[in-house]
């Protein structure tokens, strides 16, 4: 997290800490599902065939403490079928679900987040929070940090990408957040964590995006998997949960 601040215990109780091909994040859905980015399991430009161990930790803001609480074994990994590991410039379908072997007991430091049900969560300028154990200004962190970012205008992000002469795919199943004028962003190690907004109508926190990709950190916009596009797939994978 660039330009953010240290999270207090219970600020982001859905935050998961993953260690697969490096640090990553995730969010708790229900009491036995972890939502994360597919590329934390199948990184781009990586020859690994998904046989790395998947370690998932929950329930604390300290890396040391969260690991002391123990790894949560995974029963099943589900990668979205649109995800293409071999296309380094295409993060379409960058979403995955991890089913835990055992349900977790919820408490103040461990609670699930909700899923979006309409497009208003993606209105331009809507402020959201991104949290993670990823790097901050070239430093690795030992505590969970977060940053508050606005949902950016799609056209601005497209124009920004064109200005960078990049051919990265920015599809309708993604959205961008941040601002080139701000020194705030998510960064490496935050992937898989969620972009969370508070719904003032229901007073609930809703995960609207998954930290997916960006060009550098804090030099423009960050790109997120748009969860509203994948709610049906998530529900299908989770079944009656």
Tokens standing for 228? 């509203």
Active-site pick, 131, 191, 212, 218: 191
Strand partners, 124: none
Q: Which is nearer to other proteins, 19 or 186 (CB)?
A: 186
Is 72 a known active-site residue? Answer: no
Residue 213 DSSP SS3:
strand
Q: Dihedral of the CA atoms 94, 152, 169, 206 (nearest 10)?
A: 20
Is 78 a known active-site residue? Answer: no
Cβ at position 198, least distance to other proteins in Å: 7
Cβ at position 154, least distance to other proteins in Å: 25
Q: Which is nearer to other proteins, 43 or 132 (CB)?
A: 132
225 exposed, middle or buried (CB, 10 Å; 0-12, 13-18, 19+)? buried
240 exposed, middle or buried (CB, 10 Å; 0-12, 13-18, 19+)? exposed
Cβ at position 163, least distance to other proteins in Å: 32
Active-site pick, 94, 179, 185, 190: 94
Is 94 a known active-site residue? Answer: yes
The binding site for other proteins (CB under 8 A) comprises 7-14, 29-31, 105-108, 111-115, 129, 146, 148, 198-199, 202-206
Which sequence positions are flagged as catalytic?
39, 94, 191
């Amino acid at each position: 997290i660039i330009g953010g601040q240290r999270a207090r215990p219970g600020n982001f109780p859905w935050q998961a800490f993953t260690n697969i091909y490096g640090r990553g994040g995730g969010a708790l859905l229900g009491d036995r599902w972890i939502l994360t980015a597919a590329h934390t399991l199948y990184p781009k430009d990586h020859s690994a065939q998904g046989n790395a161990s998947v370690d998932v930790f929950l329930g604390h803001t300290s890396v040391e403490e969260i690991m002391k609480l123990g790894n949560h074994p995974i029963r099943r990994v589900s990668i979205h079928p649109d995800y293409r590991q071999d296309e380094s410039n295409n993060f379409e379908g960058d979403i995955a679900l991890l089913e835990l072997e055992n349900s977790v007991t919820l408490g103040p430091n461990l609670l699930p987040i909700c899923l979006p049900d309409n497009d208003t969560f993606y209105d331009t300028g809507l402020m959201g929070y991104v949290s993670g154990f990823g790097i901050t200004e070239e430093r690795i962190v030992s505590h969970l940090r977060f940053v508050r970012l606005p949902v950016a205008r799609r056209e601005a992000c497209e124009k920004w990408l064109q200005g960078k002469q990049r051919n990265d795919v920015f599809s309708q199943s993604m959205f961008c957040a941040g601002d080139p004028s701000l020194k705030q962003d998510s960064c490496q190690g935050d992937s898989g964590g969620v972009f969370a907004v508070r719904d003032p109508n229901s007073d609930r926190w809703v995960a609207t995006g998954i930290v997916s990709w960006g060009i550098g950190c804090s030099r423009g916009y960050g790109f997120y998997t748009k969860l509203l596009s994948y709610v049906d797939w998530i529900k299908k994978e989770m079944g009656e949960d």
